[in-house]
Chain A
Amino acid sequence: MTPAVDLRGITKAFPGVLANIDIHFSAEEGEIHGLLGENGAGKTVLMSILYGLYRPDEGKILVKGEEVAMDSPAKAMRLGIGMVHQHFMLVPSLTVAENIILGREPKKKGVLLDENKMLEQVRAFCELYRLDVDLEAPVYTLSVGVQQRVEILKALYRGADILILDEPTAVLTPPEVEELFRAVRALKDEGKTVIFISHKLREVLAICDRITVLKRGRVVGTVDADKTDLGQLAEMMVGREIVYTFDMEPCEAETTVLSVEGLEATDDRGLPALRGVELRVCASEIVGLAGVEGNGQTELVEVLMGLRRATGGRILLGESDITTTPPDERIKAGISHIPEDRHKWGLIEGFTVLENLILGSHRNPRFTGRGGSIDFKEATKYSEELVRDYSIQTPNINTPAGHLSGGTQQRLIVAREFSRQPRLIIASQPTRGLDIGATEYVRGKLVEMRDRGSAVLLVSADLDEIWALSDRIAVIYEGRIVSFKDPEETNEQELGLLMASGKVD
């Protein structure tokens, strides 16, 4: 039987990185085919090539048996391929309907947009696939799960027979994942082919018919889902046994480092983001803050760091009230931050490794004398120490930080923040976008700091990570902490429900 899509010998290189190396991949019509691999294995690149976003350096693409040159997404769509990206391709201020028909707008009198026709046509699709959405709502007002539905609708509207889903469950709560799976099975029943990109072993195993594993740009193998198991897949993905849990000592001395009382704040749009957050982190403890993105975590971290003003409530570091203390003083008082988006908040890519390492402590008497000038000899010594101690892979300390790999950049940030022996570490999605090696390193370091006495607030959307590292788990939902328990007293189901709805029933 001719496969729906057949990729043969695909090779693609980017500056400094071989993303795909001689890849052979094919998916049969009407099957759900999983594309599994860790972050950076080359899955998204491969599918982007199939979707016409990139052109391969070598190789052939065949769709339904015919060889094609995939020049653009427009061409891919014409051939019946649709893609739902990890980062949504939705224009925030346009409505659902407008986003769906973008590029194929129904016209009235030749130039004007026919709004009625637009709504009619999209509504028909919604009914057919039983995907329920408010068509006239601007996209930015919708939750992430609903936005994903819009993305799927968009692909279907453009006549997709082959649907590529890129890490679709990354932003969904467990119940939403179930709903997605139902929808995917319904698509299969309608004869659609689904390619399911993910790094989550369990899910891929649960939903897919066949699974192709990629590792560092190459295909490791293709297996039938019912003929394999977690262990085998994990080994194919990584090539060694993955450590799922850490060896940790139980939490001792109850000295409270961070105390958050009734904290309130608004987001960028002026809407309430934090509605009375209550939280406590002790020394030598990791508190994991679980929650679906968009429930106030980002704002909480910003308020804790002093980057956003609190509109109510208090923050206490030890005994002192730091609610209105400026950021530089908070840093001096011993708070460290591993930011969510290292490119935006963590690093200055135009600065050298040295300059990034002293960033934040540059006014420290150790580096800056009374005249205001920086002692570069001392700074150099300090940087070289850190590069050694934290194994930061850089040609030298004068390399611009922008030239380093993602994992190395994160190490730089970790080195900078942890070497200050902070009292409190706020780690926001610290392993996002990192490969397994870097992920293990960061997690190991967090545990190490915990053992050395730091209090750690770990904010993560990755439940596995929260589960593996936390002494206590808090769940944030719509700006409030709805649960705060020891891991033994709860389970994934409960957490999932709390994350999705704030309640356990």
Chain B
Amino acid sequence: MVSLLDVINVGLFAAALRMATPIAFAALGGIFSERVGIINIGLEGIMLTSAFTGVTVSYYTGNPWLGVLAAIAVGGLLGFFHAVLTVKFAGDQIISGTGINIFAMGFTAYMSQIIWGSRGASENVTGIKVVTIPLLRQVPVLGAILGKHSPLVYIMLAVTVISYIILFKTPLGLRIRAVGEHPTAAETAGIDVYRIKYLCVTLSGMLTGLGGSFLSLGHLNLFAFGMTGGRGFIAMAAMIFGKWTPFGAFGASLLFGFADALQMRLQAMGLLPSQIILTIPYLLTVAVLAGVVGRARPPSDYKPYVKE
């Protein structure tokens, strides 16, 4: 008989942290973008393209870390592209982001076909090895949850803290928040509004790219068509739930990661048809959005800022 402990145990929480990582990266990226007043709906597409890039580079070079770097670069490039379209040309932010998403779907499928002859999944590649932090590992309970993970998970934790420091404890963070909330005030204070917007949106792409690389290289060691499965959108929900703060978004990502991990366990145990279980993360996202928003005030009105 299946007992609750088979489902809910330390392993689940460790898995939750792991599954939360790509979402957290994208959510952090989303925060930087939205804090300067640009909605980045393209997180999904950026994640997918970066996941693909990471695997491709690892495939050709045998070095997964080069893959990670390439993923970050590609993410930054797509972010920059979104920035140019929405900042310089004041294009519609949602359409640009949606364009990136659709582009990612088509591009990755096409290139998968070209490289591996199959648009379903790539071959296995060298992935990033999991590490163990010896002292931490010994700690009861917490050690089992935190002690053994892919380095990218630890990077994610660090990035969360650094993001908080940047946003709330540095002059740059002050400027970022000013630019999003009142770009004209920032301009008159002598701040280069366009530059800050470009910087943050490109950064959002880079962070999301990191998340994408983890999805493919840190976990499955391959690329599969559509493997992001909506995580980019879930990351946006996490960002909103976390009220556009790094720690809040991290917490929300953990929640979604937990749902993801739970869903996989339940599937493995065959308690319910897999399709039903697969809907859990998406329904959870919808529920979160329904419960949270209305009370959450976004950091910007997202209107394009046009210099005279």
Contacts and interface: CB of A to CB of B under 8 A. Distances in A.
Contacts of B308: 53-54
B128 to A, nearest CB: 29
> What is the predominant secondary structure among interface residues of chain B facing chain A?
helix
Interface of B: 165, 169-175, 177-178, 181-182, 184-191, 299, 308
Contact of A98 (B172, B174, B187): B174
Contact of A103 (B165, B169, B182, B191): B191
Contact of A90 (B169, B177, B185): B185
Interface string A49-72: 001011000000000000000001
A73 B188 contact: yes
A94 interface: yes
A69 to B, nearest CB: 16
A481 B172 CA distance: 45
Interface residues of A, number: 27
A94 B189 contact: no
Interface string A73-108: 110010000010100111111100011001111010
B174 A113 contact: yes
Interface of A: 51, 53-54, 72-74, 77, 83, 85, 88-94, 98-99, 102-105, 107, 111-113, 154
Contacts of B171: 105, 107, 113
Nearest to A105: B171
Contact of A112 (B169, B177, B299): B169
22 contacts: A53-B308, A54-B308, A73-B187, A73-B188, A73-B189, A90-B185, A91-B181, A91-B182, A91-B185, A92-B181, A92-B182, A93-B177, A98-B174, A102-B174, A102-B189, A103-B175, A103-B191, A107-B171, A112-B169, A113-B171, A113-B174, A154-B189
B188 A91 contact: no
A107 B186 CA distance: 18
Interface centre among A102, A104, A111 (most CB of B within 10 A): A102
Contact of B185 (A89, A105, A111, A112): A89
Contacts of B178: 91, 94, 102
B174 A53 contact: no
Contact of B188 (A54, A89, A107): A89
Contacts, number: 66
A112 B177 CA distance: 15
A87 B170 CA distance: 27
Contact of B184 (A51, A89, A107): A89
A89 B186 CA distance: 8
A85 B174 contact: no
Instruction: Give the top 7 A-B pairs by smallest Cβ distance, nearest first.
Output: A105-B171, A74-B190, A89-B185, A103-B189, A103-B190, A102-B189, A91-B178
A93 B181 contact: yes
A94 B187 contact: no
A97 B184 CA distance: 18
B190 A72 contact: yes
A90 B178 CA distance: 9
Given A94-B174, A113-B169, A113-B170, A102 B181 contact: no
A54 B306 CA distance: 12
A416 to B, nearest CB: 27
Contacts of B181: 91-94
Nearest to A88: B185
Contacts of B182: 89-92
A112 B181 CA distance: 21
Contacts of B188: 51, 53, 73, 83, 85, 89
A77 B190 CA distance: 8
Contacts of B174: 94, 98, 102, 105, 113
Nearest to B308: A54
A72 B189 CA distance: 10
Contacts of A77: 190
B127 to A, nearest CB: 34
Given A51-B188, A102-B186, A113-B173, 5 more contacts: A54-B308, A73-B187, A89-B184, A90-B185, A111-B172
Contacts of A91: 177-178, 181-182, 185-186
A88 B184 CA distance: 10
B177 A94 contact: yes
B197 to A, nearest CB: 15
A309 to B, nearest CB: 15
Contacts of B191: 102-103
A103 B189 CA distance: 6
Contacts of A54: 308
A111 B190 contact: no
A491 to B, nearest CB: 38
A88 B189 CA distance: 12
Nearest to B172: A111
A103 B308 CA distance: 20
A244 to B, nearest CB: 35
A111 B184 contact: no
A103 B196 CA distance: 12
Nearest to B181: A91
Contacts of B187: 53, 73
A301 B174 CA distance: 36
B7 to A, nearest CB: 41
Contacts of B172: 111
Nearest to B178: A91
